[in-house]
């Protein structure tokens, strides 16, 4: 009987990858808060997770589609980064990353217990 670890982890492996990519995008937005003309970007996490579930996702790692964020109050210099929004999204993404990591840890503990016969 063969056993594949990525199948047992379910979607949490892909979720961690997306959270990591999103944190990089949000960090770039925060780093460019004062850059004139910089357009803040983000990814639609739910839409990207649906793309992972599609049959075509198994053909390779689909590239993440980034979207431009529409600012609540546009800046005079064309920069669309809003510090409070970016910080809140970064914090939310970090909590979601930790949640996915916790689920993976629980799954691995359960697999270990099954292997040990507990």
Residue 112 has pLDDT above 50, yes or no: yes
Beta strands of the chain (E only): which ranges?
Answer: 41-43, 66-68
- The pTM (predicted TM-score) of the whole model is 0.81
C-alpha span between 109 and 3 (Å, rounded): 16
Residues 68-102: tens digit of each pLDDT? 999 998 899 999 999 999 999 999 999 999 999 99
Residues ≥6 apart with Cβ < 8 Å to 52:
11, 14, 18, 62
Query: Residue 7's pLDDT band (boundaries 50, 70, 90)?
Result: low
Q: What is the CA radius of gyration of the chain?
A: 18
Tell me whether strands 66-68 and 41-43 are parallel, antiparallel or unpaired: antiparallel
Query: Residue 110's pLDDT band (boundaries 50, 70, 90)?
Result: confident
Residues 32-82: tens digit of each pLDDT? 999 999 999 999 999 998 887 766 555 455 578 999 999 998 899 999 999
């Amino acid at each position: 009987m063969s056993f594949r670890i990525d199948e047992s982890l379910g979607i949490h492996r892909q979720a961690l990858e997306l959270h990591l990519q999103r944190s990089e995008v949000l960090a770039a937005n925060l780093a460019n808060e004062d850059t004139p003309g910089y357009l803040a970007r983000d990814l639609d996490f739910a839409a990207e997770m649906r793309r992972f579930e599609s049959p075509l996702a198994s053909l390779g790692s689909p590239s993440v589609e980034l979207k431009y964020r529409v600012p609540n109050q546009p800046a005079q210099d064309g920069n669309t980064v809003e510090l409070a929004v970016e910080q809140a999204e970064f914090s939310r993404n970090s909590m979601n990353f930790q949640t996915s990591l916790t689920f993976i840890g629980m799954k691995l503990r359960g697999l270990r217990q099954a292997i040990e016969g507990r």
